[in-house]
């Protein structure tokens, strides 16, 4: 208790800065290893540490001795196992962009993702192939993902086109994209019960509107009858949206940072009023 009573505001400030820097470094390290094999290796290490803690708590001498022997060579083992990830960290540190790369990389990843989706949408629109592509955002829609066939695949235009090819097993459902992966195909979505929706819109469009009513997801629809492309978000739909507007809106929404509850702001409302049915 003496530390807390004798500490000055300068000591508190130094501690806060110290913890903040360490936390930020750990956060950046997690971003670097996310999506790599290192994640699974970290889980294995966590299991070993948990086993050691249990053996210490219950005084399991043999198991504790075995864990101690493993940890004796732990540092060398970690250096060997995580050599690729450590090399990436040192490379990023040498380039001076270890702490500034995340946002630009996120935007580049979104751009590549949109490019593949647009290429597929263009192809299907020309051939009048019906399609429904859903982008998950902050509100999780895991239950909808689980209603389809799990894929967890890289987003490519060729894969999207093949999924929605008529008479293929998955062409009737929706594709759901999370981050940079196609999580599932053939997914079932809730249909909108909005009585003001145009009678011209079929099941695919109502499903696109429905998922955007129960979450902040956005949906891209290709009409099987006309080949028109539509965009649905927050319970509203823009029909026959042109390519430039679609790319702009997808990029804006998918790179949008945290803004409260994710509702449409005034500038976005103006967009829908200009582009509405």
Angle at CA of residue 254, ends 106 and 232, nearest 5°: 160
Closest C-alpha to 98, from 35, 37, 30: 30
Residues spanned by CATH 3.40.1700.10 within the chain? 103-275
Burial of 80 by CB count in 10 Å (0-12 exposed, 13-18 middle, 19+ buried)? exposed
**Locus of tokens 């955007």:** 212
226 three-class SS: coil
Burial of 46 by CB count in 10 Å (0-12 exposed, 13-18 middle, 19+ buried)? exposed
Q: What is the pTM of this model?
A: 0.62
Least confidently predicted of 92-101, 162-171, 238-247: 92-101
Structure confidence at residue 85 (pLDDT): 63
The pLDDT of 23-30, averaged and rounded, is 78
Instruction: Give domain 103-275's CATH number out of 3.40.1700.10, 3.40.50.300, 3.90.650.10, 3.40.50.720.
Output: 3.40.1700.10
Give the whole-number percent of the chain exceeding pLDDT 70.
77
Q: Could you tell me which residue, 98 or 57, shows the higher pLDDT?
A: 57
The pLDDT of 210-231, averaged and rounded, is 94
Query: Does position 210 have pLDDT exceeding 90, yes or no?
Result: yes
**Locus of tokens 């990389």:** 105
Confidence of residue 105 (pLDDT cuts 50, 70, 90): low
Q: In angstroms, rounded to a whole number, what is the distance separating the alpha carbons of residues 165 and 37?
A: 33
Encode pLDDT of 32-82 as tens digits: 666 555 666 677 778 888 888 898 898 888 888 888 887 777 767 767 766
């Amino acid at each position: 208790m003496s530390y807390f009573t004798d500490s000055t505001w300068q000591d508190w400030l130094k501690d806060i800065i110290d913890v903040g820097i360490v936390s930020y470094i750990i956060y950046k390290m997690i971003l670097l290893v996310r999506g790599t094999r290192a994640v699974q290796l970290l889980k294995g290490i966590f299991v070993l540490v948990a086993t050691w803690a249990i053996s210490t708590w219950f005084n399991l001498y043999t198991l504790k001795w075995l864990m101690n022997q493993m940890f004796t060579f732990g540092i060398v083992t970690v250096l060997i196992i995580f050599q690729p990830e450590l090399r990436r960290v040192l490379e990023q540190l040498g380039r001076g962009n270890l702490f500034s790369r995340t946002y630009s990389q996120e935007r580049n990843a979104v751009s590549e993702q949109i490019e593949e989706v647009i290429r597929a949408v263009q192809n299907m629109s020309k051939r009048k192939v019906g399609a429904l592509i859903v982008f998950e955002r902050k509100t999780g829609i895991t239950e909808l993902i689980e209603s389809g066939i799990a894929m967890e695949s890289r987003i490519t235009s060729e894969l999207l086109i093949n999924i929605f090819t008529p008479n293929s097993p998955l062409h009737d459902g929706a594709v759901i994209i999370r981050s940079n992966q196609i999580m599932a195909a053939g997914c079932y979505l809730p249909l909108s019960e909005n009585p003001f929706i145009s009678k011209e819109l079929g099941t695919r469009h109502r499903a696109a509107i429905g998922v955007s009513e129960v979450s902040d997801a956005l949906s891209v629809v290709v009409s099987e009858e006309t080949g028109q492309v539509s965009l649905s978000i927050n319970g509203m739909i823009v029909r026959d949206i042109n390519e430039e507007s679609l790319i702009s809106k997808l990029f804006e929404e998918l790179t949008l940072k945290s803004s409260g509850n994710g509702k449409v702001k005034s500038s976005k409302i103006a967009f829908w009023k200009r582009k509405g049915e």
